[in-house]
Amino acid sequence: MNRILTIISIAAAGALASGCCNKTTEAVEDKNPVIENIMARRSVRHYTDQAVPREVLQQLAECGVNAPNAMNRQEWEVRIIDNPEYFDGVTAVMKEAMPFFVNNDDPKFRNAFRNATAAIAVACPDDPSGMTLINVGLLCENICLAAKSLGLGSVVMAGPAMMLSTNPAAKPYLDRLNFSEGYKLRIVIGLGYPDEEPEAKPRDLGKIQFVE
């Protein structure tokens, strides 16, 4: 009788253990790290003064150029900026041209790149089909998501790109990016260690519809 009870106890324990394992496996499968990263990523507009290591910036740029692109033509050029002097110089120009980008009332203000300690500038040539701009967008999203996964913040900025491309006083800084002939600066991504945790803004899920 004791032997039978022992066998039953072992079988019950095995069944319980099996059930626990299955629940744990299901929970792990439900937590998709890629989807969690996408849902958690926010535009960060305040950064600490901690510098981002160059090997991390290189990794982010490589994640960018691994984005899908039309016919794998890779018609983009990427420049990594982490020189404080560069940020200071561009900020000085922006104070005159685009003063709304410069918050002199903020005691933490460092530069007009949202105080980012690093940035990635992306250029591509004109293309009537619009595909090169789509490619740049895909590249930028790769960088932003990779940055989030590494504990960094990111913000996609059109203002600095527009100013660098159009303001004669900023031309020396545009020239330092050394883009190939025919390539135009399209976007600048600010990067750094976040000094804020922005809440998610509401998304209109009504924009999503199935086609019947």
- On whether the CB atoms of residues 156 and 122 are closer than 8 A, the answer is no
For 50-90, the pLDDT digits (tens) are 999 999 999 999 999 999 999 999 999 999 999 999 999 99
Which amino acid would we find at residue 196? E
DSSP state of 155: E
For 165-192, the pLDDT digits (tens) are 999 999 999 999 999 999 999 999 999 9
The domain locations on the chain are 42-192
Does the pLDDT at position 8 exceed 50? no
Q: Annotate 72-101 with DSSP letters as a single string.
A: G----EEEEE--HHHHHHHHHHHHHH-GGG
Does the pLDDT at position 150 exceed 80? yes
Does the pLDDT at position 101 exceed 80? no
Does the pLDDT at position 107 exceed 90? no
For 187-211, the pLDDT digits (tens) are 999 999 999 999 999 999 999 999 9
User: Which is more confident, 17 or 149?
Assistant: 149
Q: What percent of the chain has pLDDT over 70?
A: 85
Region 132-156: mean pLDDT is 98
Using DSSP's 3-state secondary structure scheme, residue 157 falls into strand
Q: Angle at which helices 84-97 and 159-166 pack, to 10 degrees?
A: 80
At which residue do the structure tokens 């740029």 appear? Answer: 61
Model pLDDT, residue 105: 77
Q: What is the mean pLDDT of the chain?
A: 87
Cα 194 from Cα 108, distance rounded (Å): 13
Cα 119 from Cα 157, distance rounded (Å): 10
What CATH topology corresponds to 42-192? NADH Oxidase (3.40.109)
Region 9-38: mean pLDDT is 56
User: Which is more confident, 23 or 120?
Assistant: 120
Model pLDDT, residue 108: 83
Q: How confident is the model at residue 17 (pLDDT cuts 50, 70, 90)?
A: very low
